[in-house]
Structure 1
Amino acid sequence: MFHRFRFRFRFRFRIGAHHAVLLAWLVAAGCGDPDAPEIARVTGTVTRAGKPVPNLTVNFMPTEGRPSWGITDEQGRYELEYNADYKGAKVDHHKVYVVFNAASLDADVSGEVGPQSLTAEDRQDIQRKYGSEQTTQLEVDVTEDGQVIDLKLD
């Protein structure tokens, strides 16, 4: 008889704990900032003439609000960050501009040449066309979470 009581108590406690966790989750879900914008994760690859462009900061400027940014790796891949807590970009229309990082400029000075390197003319052309929010013609729409936006800097 003691064993039967113990089983029922554990069963009831587990159901009670389950409901408590569910209730806490529902309360926490409703405690977010109601004024926070919808953020969607965005990844992609930046290329020029079909080759990846490494060490480039990619900036997404929404119509209104905080911009997002990401840095391309050796394969030209990037993932946007909205802030320290959230990866992605605001769901909105964005102007996109790019800035070369010091690491990519150092490669020119060192004379390293590789399949992913760009000529000085390529760098100047990219900087002239896409190097500021005012001059860039790149515009994209961030519409859904997990979106892949590949950028061709040709």
Structure 2
Amino acid sequence: MQATTSHPIGYWLIVGLLAFSFGCSGDSIDPEYKPVTGTVTLDGQPLANAQVSFVPFEAGSSGAGFTDQDGVYRLYYAARRPGAKMGENKVFITKEKPLTSKRGEFSRMSESDLELLPARYNRRTELTANVTDQTNVIDFELKSK
């Protein structure tokens, strides 16, 4: 005589959900996005704590990251996936000025008063970058004047 085991529907539901979650892990990388890294300098010196954003000309998620103390950045999209969308991207680089104003003066400051870099790198960016299906090391040599 052969024994049969019956499992409640909830058991199969849990097994199915576990299989789905392992198959659709949040760490999977979209094939349209490729890792991007590089260095940002200002007047020949590494630019630390600057935000670098790649915004695709075509539809898609932006890639963004911050430079470290050596001016090196790595881009991430969808919160924590490494990379930026392949193709032409508009690039925005921002760096806030350290605040040294007195209390209450902050409300009288304009956006340009708070930005260290010229507008041609952020609000009116002239920067673009092409992300390809290979290693993407894209450096930016910015000038303050």
Q: Given the two structures, how large is their TM-score scaled by the length of structure 2?
A: 0.62
2:63 paired residue number: 68
Choose between structure 1 and 2: higher helix proportion. 1
Letter in 2 for 1:56: A
Shift of 1:90: 0.6
Choose between structure 1 and 2: higher strand proportion. 2
Unaligned runs of at least 5 residues, structure 2: 1-22, 101-114
After the TM superposition, list the runs of 4 or more consecutive aligned residues in structure 1 that deviate by more than 2 angstroms. Answer: none
Q: What is the number of residues matched between the two proteins?
A: 104
Unaligned runs of at least 5 residues, structure 1: 1-27, 110-122
Structure-2 separation of matches of 1:63 and 1:37? 17
Letter in 2 for 1:45: T
2:91 maps to which of 92, 96, 111: 96
Shift of 1:39: 0.8
Residue 120 (structure 2) pairs with residue 129 (structure 1): yes
Rg: which structure is higher?
1
Structure-1 separation of matches of 2:80 and 2:66? 17
Shift of 1:85: 4.1
Percent of matched pairs sharing the same residue: 37
1:4-83 to structure 2, matched below 5 A, reads: 38-64=32-58, 65-83=60-78
